[in-house]
Structure 1
C-alpha cells in the first residue's frame, strides 16, 4: 500500500500506518500520532487501561478534529 497524500503529489512512498478515521494509507511524514485512552466496561462503571494506545490520523482528519 502507498501513502495517499504522497500519491496525490505524484510520489510513491510506502504506507506504514492507516488513518483511524478515513482509512487512508500514511507514510511517516504524513502520519499524525496521538495517544488514545482505552476504556473497558467493568461492573457498573468503566475502567481505563494504562499505557494509552496509539492513534494515527491523516492531515485532513487531524485538522478536522482540532
Structure 2
C-alpha cells in the first residue's frame, strides 16, 4: 500500500499506517499520532480507563478534529 497524500502529489511512498477515521494509507511524513481516552460502558454509567490509547490519523482528519 502507498501513501495517499504522496500519491496525490505525484510521489510513491510506502504507507506504514492507516488513518483510523478515513482509512487512507499514510507514510511517516503524513502520519499524526493522537492520544485517545478509552471509554467502556459499565453498569449504569461509563468508565474512562488509562493509560490513553494511540490513534493514527491523516493530516486532513487531524485538522478536522481540532
Q: What does residue 18 of structure 1 align with? A: 18
Q: What does residue 36 of structure 2 align with? A: 36
Deviations 1:7-66 (A, max 9, x none): 111111111111111111011110111101111111111112211111111111111112
Unaligned runs of 5+ in 2: none
The runs of at least 4 aligned residues of structure 1 exceeding 3 Å deviation read none
Q: What does residue 58 of structure 2 align with? A: 58
Q: Which protein has the bigger strand share? A: 2
- RMSD across aligned C-alpha pairs, in angstroms? 1.0
2-structure distance, mates of 1:35, 1:24: 19
TM-score by length of structure 2 reads 0.89
